[in-house]
Structure formats: C-alpha cells, structure tokens
Amino acid sequence: MTNQTDHLQQPIAHEQDLSPFVHDSPMAVAYELRQLAQRATSLAVYFNQGQGMMLTRVLDVDSKARQFIFDLGGHPPTNDALQKADKILMVAAPEGVKIQFAIGGARTCSFEGKPAFIAAFPPSLIKLQRREYFRLTTPMASPYRCQLKLASGANLTLELHDLSLGGFGAWLPVEVMSQIEVGQQFSDAWFELGPLGQVKISLEIRSLRAMTLNTGPRCFVGAKFLGVSRTVEASLQRLMVQLERDRKALLD
C-alpha cells in the first residue's frame, strides 16, 4: 500500500472530553473494525511517539479470536519499525466521522497469500461524531492557504491539508518548527479558501508532530479556530458541504 498523505487523519486532541464517545464492548469494536474493512477505509498509523507514520486499511476481522488483520505499508523500513512498536495509534475518518484506537503491538502474518499485520482488538475505540470535528481533505490542485506572522516578523504561509468547522491541519516546514509552540495564538491569520476567498480567523496551535515519511522529515500542525463569527461559520459550513460533494463525486 502506498504511503500517500491525501487521507492523513490527525489524532484527536488530548484535551477533549472523549468519555461520551468511547466504545469498549468487544462487539462494538468488532462492528466498527468490520465497517472499516468493508469500506476499505484508509487509516493513518502513528507509532514511536508520532515519529513513525504510515497508511493502511483493515483487511479482515475475527470476532471470535478478537483479532484483526491490516495491510502493510509501502515502505519496508517503516513496516520493520512498526513491528517493534509497543503502542500503535490508528485513526480513520469514514464519512467525516473520526474513529481512533490504540493497540499494543502488531506482528506479521499471511493473508490471502500476501504478507500483512495481525493485532489483538483494542480494548476500546473512540467514535467522534460531533459535526465540528468532521475533517475533510482540502483540494490538492488548488491548495487552501493560511498566512501567519511569526514573532520574528516573518510571514509564514501554510498549505492546508484538511479543514473542519473547528480548525485545520497543515504541513509545517521543519525549519520553522522551533518558532511554533502548542498553545500559541495568532489573531491576524489570513486564509485563502478557494471559492470562499480571503477570510481572517484567529487561531490557536493545538498540536505539533514531527515525523519521517518516504520524502523525508516533515512536521504536521493542528490548529483550532477562535471566536469565529456566525457569518464566517456559515460560510465555512457551505464550503464544507461543497468539499463533501466534490469528494463523493470523485468516488462515484
């Protein structure tokens, strides 16, 4: 499976109260895993404290043995590193509903004559259905952008990877990672959001993760919108609807 980043999903921020969204019965876990398998949903896999990352999909679910099988990644050294990890985080977002769970490790197996990974069911999973957290991948051909002014006075332009009513995710140049901190706020951030045009929205940095991909070291930043006006929120909602329509049209 190729390590493309089009469907990269960002882990849920730790500060959110997730207790209403936790499913911990084996039957519920099996059902959600089976849905991921049937839809061939892409999952982002994080390990080694976020330093390692790959994409995969669930291939098979064994409810009786409480195990599931998932695909290898497209980068052999990453597959080797995953086998040594003792904590693996998996994140998916089928139809904008975020699903996240952690497993204690994985080992290789054979599935339909090909190598794959097998792992025990997670003890629980999170299924986050609140609308404000639905994230949709932004267009690659005409990227959405965000411009920030750093403390040094320099302007930083980010290309958005995904967008929700509550915030966004973007790739951050590794060389400026030291100038961005979790909790840092920007009150003068300007966004270029395709058909929505230019919009000014305050934001707060909520997560920073350095990782190594096939293309080399990268950093992914997650941000939360602050004090969004009703007018801007309504415009964002319309944009999200259009993004979802465009996504579904590509799948038809």
In eight-state DSSP terms, residue 12 is: P
Amino acid 3: pLDDT: 41
Tallying the residues shown for the chain, one arrives at 252
The residues facing 58 across adjacent strands are 70
Q: How far, in Å, are 14, 177, 211, 216 from residue 146 at the CA level? A: 24, 16, 21, 23
Q: Fill in the amino acid letter for 141.
A: A
- Report how far residue 10's alpha carbon sits from residue 224's, in angstroms, rounded to the nearest whole number: 13
Amino acid 2: pLDDT: 38
Amino acid 86: pLDDT: 92
Virtual torsion, Cα 118, 220, 216, 88, nearest 10 deg: -20
Q: Fill in the amino acid letter for 100.
A: Q
Q: Which residues contact 23 (CB under 8 A, 6 or more apart)?
A: 29, 32, 124, 125, 126, 127
Amino acid 133: pLDDT: 57
Max intra-chain CA distance, the chain: 59
- Report how far residue 48's alpha carbon sits from residue 214's, in angstroms, rounded to the nearest whole number: 16
Q: How many CB atoms lie within 10 A of CB 199?
A: 18
Amino acid 132: pLDDT: 53
What domains are there in the chain, each with its CATH number? 19-129 (2.30.110.10), 133-251 (2.40.10.220)
10-residue mean pLDDT profile of the chain (252 residues): values are: 44 63 90 94 90 93 96 93 95 84 96 96 86 72 91 90 88 85 91 91 89 74 89 86 76 59
CB 160 within 8 A of CB 172: no
